[in-house]
Amino acid sequence: MRGEGDVEETIVAIDVGTTKVCTLVGELGEEPAMRIVGIGVSPSRGVRKGVVLDIEQATQAIAMSVEKAEQISGYEIDSAFVGMAGAHISGLNSKGIAAISRGERTIVQEDIDRALEAARAVALPANRQLIHVIPRGYIVDDQDGVRNPLGLRGFRLEVEAHIVTGASTSVHNLVQCVQGAGVRVGGLVLEPIAAGEAVLTTAEKELGVALVDIGGGTTDLAIFIDGSVWHTTVLPVGGNHLTHDVAVGLRTPFMVAETLKTKYGHTMPETIGPDESIDATSFGDNSHRSVSRRRLAEIIRARSEEILELVLREIKRSGYDGLLPAGVVLCGGTADLAGIKELSCEVLDLPVRVGTPHEMEGLVETVRDPAHACSVGLLLWALRCAPDASHNGSLQRRGIVGRFRDLLQVLTPG
């Protein structure tokens, strides 16, 4: 990234969602904090349920978002960290072991790398691509619960890791679109992991918490325990399904249904008066008519309840449902829906709060809402977990071919 005059250290994040593409530019100062100096949001096209279906349209949408961010920040964007989701994403847990030479020396980074390499050596189909290898914890000899084994002495180092994979074709298509917009991919990051960086506290990650990011086309779930990610999945349902149900139930165009959902929508119909009505546009002659707001809320509640029940089923399937004393943190655009917190508490039977991005300066009011959790989290993830690859210049020294062949980003627990 280059600006006029002095070159600042910068990080760029691109969140390619089903409903919008958001590009953020973060500037690093002398303090370890980051300042957002640019934002570009454009309607998403060519993307469905988090997966690119039309290369040309998706590329144009990304390019428009990048151009807006460049105009506001004054920087020319060369490279970026990119969030990815989609139902093709899957996670599994693996273990890796590395022997330490006769216990005569302390554990060094090379030993940790060998253990992680052993953990990532899982048999994957030819059509799957590794995205993350995330250490959950280490065991030195018989001592478990080790967060950072560097400097410890032992004969054997074992790592428990969470591995995230994606369909190779979907990964390639996303990378191709970002490149087509003139931006190098500095790294791919699973969106719920990124969102966790922006909205979760350290205490929540330590205790055990489920992050639920309800976007336009997908609902992303990440379970954090003991400071690290233990489970991830992406469900192919999201806010657009609510809008579709409203459009069908009220017989109104999709864009009108989206406006009704965001402006008047509610997930608790019993809180709305039976005589309260709202104005809606009909199909055909585009005439205006009054519809019951309680009916709107009933439609929204039915689908919201279904999404939350799918989340609950996935949490139970993970086996970690009894390890979440910090409950659930909601983010994504649908987290702004009135009553969603109360309905989530009812369905999930867990403490629930709505998460908004933190630890930001600059254009904070622009991004301080649940819908921007992923894009802000991408900046924080890059700052915390990939400092060597985040600053201007470092990204350009690593070839995109090499990155695409081995898209592994290792997170430090905690």
| pLDDT tens digits along 211-252 | 999 999 999 999 999 999 999 999 999 999 999 999 999 989
At 32, the pLDDT band (50, 70, 90 cuts) reads low
* Fold annotation for 90-165: Dna Ligase; domain 1 (3.30.1490)
Question: Among 156, 153, 181, which residue's Cα sits nearest to residue 59?
Answer: 181
Residue 311 has φ and ψ, to the nearest 5°, of -60, -45
CB 256 within 8 A of CB 281: yes
pLDDT at res. 397: 27
The answer on pLDDT for 326 being more than 90 is yes
The answer on pLDDT for 206 being more than 50 is yes
At 286, the pLDDT band (50, 70, 90 cuts) reads low
Q: What is the DSSP letter of 172?
A: H
Q: Identify residue 256 by its one-letter amino acid code.
A: V
Structure tokens at 336: 């702004």
The answer on pLDDT for 75 being more than 80 is yes
Sheet containing 128-140: give its strands across.
90-99, 156-167, 128-140, 143-146
CA distance 76 to 337: 36
At 103, the pLDDT band (50, 70, 90 cuts) reads low
Which pTM value belongs to this model?
0.86
Residue 102 vs residue 355, higher pLDDT: 355
For strands 20-28 and 34-43, give the pairing: antiparallel
pLDDT at res. 283: 64
CA distance 414 to 394: 25
Q: Using alpha carbons, list the distances in angstroms from residue 109 to 51, 143, 153, 171.
A: 36, 19, 13, 29
Percentage of the chain with pLDDT > 90? Answer: 69
pLDDT at res. 182: 95
The answer on pLDDT for 5 being more than 50 is no
Q: Using alpha carbons, list the distances in angstroms from residue 88 to 85, 167, 178, 193.
A: 8, 6, 19, 16
pLDDT at res. 280: 83
Cβ neighbours for 80, distance < 8 A, ≥ 6 positions apart: 12, 13, 14, 23, 66, 178, 183, 184, 185, 186
- How confident is the model over 130-188, as pLDDT tens digits? 999 999 999 998 888 898 999 898 889 999 999 999 999 999 999 999 999 999 999 99
- Ranges 319-328, 337-346, 365-374: which has the least confidence: 365-374
Question: Among 66, 85, 86, which residue's Cα sits nearest to residue 25?
Answer: 66
- Ranges 24-38, 39-53, 253-267: which has the least confidence: 24-38
pLDDT at res. 260: 94
Strands (E) in 113-255, as ranges, are 128-140, 143-146, 156-167, 184-190, 209-214, 219-225, 228-235
- Ranges 6-20, 85-99, 206-220, 375-389: which has the least confidence: 375-389
Four-residue CA torsion sign, 388, 389, 391, 394 = positive
CATH 3.30.420.40 fits 2-87+168-196+357-405, yes or no: yes
pLDDT at res. 142: 83
Q: What is the DSSP letter of 167?
A: E
At 358, the pLDDT band (50, 70, 90 cuts) reads confident
At 34, the pLDDT band (50, 70, 90 cuts) reads confident
Q: Mean pLDDT of all residues in the chain?
A: 87
At 42, the pLDDT band (50, 70, 90 cuts) reads very high
The average pLDDT across 108-112 equals 91
The average pLDDT across 396-411 equals 34
CB 366 within 8 A of CB 346: no
CA distance 90 to 354: 25
pLDDT at res. 285: 61
Q: Dihedral, CA atoms, 234, 239, 242, 248, nearest 10 degrees?
A: -100
The average pLDDT across 329-349 equals 96
Q: Where are the domains of the chain?
A: 2-87+168-196+357-405, 90-165
Let me know if the fold of 2-87+168-196+357-405 is the same as that of 90-165.
no
The answer on pLDDT for 408 being more than 70 is no
Structure tokens at 97: 């072991």
The answer on pLDDT for 396 being more than 60 is no
The answer on pLDDT for 409 being more than 70 is no
CA distance 270 to 258: 22
Q: Is 411 helix (H, G, I), strand (E, B) or coil?
A: coil
